[in-house]
Amino acid sequence: MTESSESPKPKRVSKAAAKAAAPAPAESSAPKPGAPAKLAASAKPARSRKAGKHVAVIALEPTHRHPNLGLAPLDMDAGFTAEANVLRRDKAAIAAAALVAAVAADPDFQLRFDDAGLRQLLHDAEVLIDRLAMCLDANDTRPMAEYAEWIGPIFRRRSVSLWDLVEICNGIREIVAPTLGQEASKAMDGILDAAIEVLRKNGRLGGDPHKRNALLKWFYRGV
């Protein structure tokens, strides 16, 4: 047999080469296990296994929303604007009378501060009255309660007890209540009570310079 009449033998193809030459499978639209699910506009509602019906999924709104996350701002005309304007106009006189009422309620109050400290507390009382007027404008306790939460570290640095601020708040209540109507006075009580609750809670923390029980102070530091 001649060389030209011989038929060529087929070459053997390795498995790796056959796998490389095979066409790539089409990518499935189904998500891989463990991969994060992607939200689509045409997503179908979930189906119930028992009833076999579509179940509507309702997203519950959070119970507490921050103003930066969509809560509407305060309406400064929803409350007692006339009474609030009177407080702003007479805040200097109200602050002085409230400080006198706080000293009368606690005789040791004046002994804890010198003249400069009392003048600073007089300014603090005016700021509290401004916040009270803001709350009356909106008929909302948030501005006063938030301010009471913010000022704790500041008064610790000044070595002023938050319990003394409670006395000033009660003095403001005593002076302002007779000048307000029934509804405005009720709103003012709620505003001051919200601030006093925050001040008393933060006043229990270590670092507040109020007078403490000597036995508890000996047993536990920071009480």
Residues 133-167: pLDDT tens digits? 999 998 989 889 999 999 888 888 888 888 889 99
pTM of the model: 0.63
Close Cβ partners of 48 (under 8 Å, ≥ 6 residues apart): 54, 55
What integer is the mean pLDDT of 194-216?
76
In the chain, pLDDT over 70 holds for what percent of residues?
60
Q: Is the pLDDT of residue 124 over 80?
A: yes
* Contacting residues for 191 by C-beta, under 8 A, at least 6 apart: 132, 135, 136, 141, 144
- For residue range 163-204, what is the model confidence (pLDDT) as tens digits? 889 999 999 999 999 988 889 999 999 999 999 999 988 887
Sign of CA dihedral 104, 109, 113, 116: negative
E strand map for the chain: 46-47, 54-55
Task: Break the chain into its structural domains and give their ranges.
Answer: 81-219
Whether 118 has a pLDDT exceeding 70, the answer reads yes
CA distances from 133 to 64, 91, 113, 136, 186 (A): 25, 10, 27, 5, 14
Question: 19-39, pLDDT tens digit by residue?
Answer: 555 555 555 445 454 444 444
Would you tell me which CATH number, out of the four given (1.10.3720.10, 1.10.490.20, 1.10.10.10, 1.20.120.420), belongs to the domain 81-219?
A: 1.10.490.20
